[in-house]
Structure 1
């Protein structure tokens, strides 16, 4: 694809200065550059060239009009290719209508659905007794729902969104336990219990007596999801789902161990542990079974050997999360993050999107959208874990509860 842009270069291989007069063309070229794959030097040069002149046009107030100035400013902040689809579509509607919208007070096909979802999640959350047993844990049901709806908002994926929200809620609880609220000895016992996924061991009983209700509730969730997949596809997936949680717990424990030992991991150590601890394999592992029309053996094997696509998405999530949460976590004594360990680590997810993949399109889309969701929630701070993040809270409120007239 990059060869197409060679026509815009001069005899020295640089982009022609005459291009800077076309603001719309520059903006389109800038957006296209984010679709590049590794080795496409022309698009790398294009991005540097265009970003420089677009910023200059903004500084000099030399853009076509206010609307295009807004588009340029927004693209330089975060390109379209990195944006979540539904919120961005709403943003364009707002801008086209002059920056304001008329909202419906009531829309029969939306508000009752949101209300019923809220009731359902509330009943489920209360049934786990986690809020009572673990009062320190964050209640992030709404944010957990956003992680699911941002990846698949279409009506046919309702079951995926419901189940995915439960998975995301449990991830938040595990993260809280390992991050701050357990001693090293307690975390070691807790991790050992999850590694076995056995509720009748002496260790597990000790944990339950210490109010760690999470283990039995997690086991129930795994069984519930596995039963649905067995009923629909005739495939037993309990071992696969347990592996996801076992691996996540082990990486959480490794980070806790580094913290309590005062050890600062190397770049390689942090990356190898961090792309799993950021939850990408757990979310995508469950998503695969929930969105796939059929479950092929090759795809399952690739998924649980942690195919490169899973790893790349994990790296993107790790960086986005650390950039959004590092200040809060360092202030409360949390472990070293990738902001300190690496700033330039990224993955070429574009190449994996077009490569010969064992995964169905719906799953590939889910993986790409997971990276976009991380940008959505962490671009202006910790939009998942911190309640004092007004920008993302306003976005979520308008997205879910304020239908456009």
Structure 2
């Protein structure tokens, strides 16, 4: 499908930032597949599908079975739906025998929430709707994939990914919420010019500018301060959270680091040329000088 971003190498690079240790080799393969599904889903809702097609896909994923209208949909949409189901079926085959089917179930739940947020943003973008900043962030902090990515990351981590870890994630802890908000703001600030140039006005920066009548520069300054304030919450939560293993908290921070690399120099996944390309060459290609 030509509209999919061909980013397997970039996605694996980001997977390495989650866990590089030898014992997580299988987990890295699983997470690369999950990142691929997330990316294809985002591209489908954000840049390609009509609203009726997006609704059909979202309804099918909510039911985890084909919508009544799926048979009449374009082949690409059927392919996307089947791909998603096949990937999760593969995950179930790998961890079900270990008694950890709950990890797949928990990830599916988060993925459904992600899909709903994709659809909500697609509907807003279709009519060039600029909601209040608060309404946008309520949807946008889910759409940035932090919750779903955390769930997908844990699937391959064996005994560390306990039922309690998934319940903790489901409870919307302040740590993940703060990291999600920061990720959303970084993404929107990095991609603001590109989004506006293609007529995509439903972004956090634009919502803030419209609601408060401020310039882009003023909005950036305010959103940056929000990120600083959220960093303080993150530090506090890292010190006080006792409900899950420290390794789970480490994965949350690794996810935030990945986001910082992805959006620290622009929209790194959409436009990997430059810093991301340099990092990839450094990690995979360039020889280590002794």
Deviations 1:142-170 (A, max 9, x none): 11112210121121221221111111111
Deviations 1:272-300 (A, max 9, x none): 11111001111101112322524433332
Name the residue aligned to 2:220. none
Gaps of 5+ in 2: 209-222
Cα gap change, 1:163 to 1:335, in 2 (>3 Å): farther
Structure 1, 357-366 or 207-216: larger mean CA deviation: 207-216
Which aligned pairs between 1:5-404 and structure 2 lie closer than 5 A?
A: 134-199=1-66, 201-207=67-73, 209=75, 211-342=77-208, 343=223, 344-346=225-227, 347=230, 348-387=233-272, 389-404=273-288
Aligned mates of 1:224, 1:150 — CA distance in 2? 23
Q: Secondary structure at the match of 1:202?
A: coil
Aligned mates of 2:154, 2:76 — CA distance in 1? 34
Aligned mates of 1:298, 1:328 — CA distance in 2? 40
Larger-gyration structure (1/2): 1
Name the residue aligned to 1:34. none
Maintained 8 Å contact 2:15/2:31: yes
What TM-score do the two structures reach when normalised by structure 2?
Answer: 0.86
Q: Which has the higher contact order (CA 8 A, sep 6+)?
A: 2
What is the CA distance between 1:386 and its match in structure 2?
A: 1.4
CA RMSD between the two structures:
1.9
Number of matched pairs? 270
Q: Larger % of helix: which?
A: 2
Gaps of 5+ in 1: 1-133
Aligned mates of 1:234, 1:317 — CA distance in 2? 29
Aligned mates of 1:196, 1:158 — CA distance in 2? 32
Aligned mates of 1:261, 1:338 — CA distance in 2? 16
Maintained 8 Å contact 1:229/1:236: no
Cα gap change, 1:230 to 1:336, in 2 (>3 Å): same
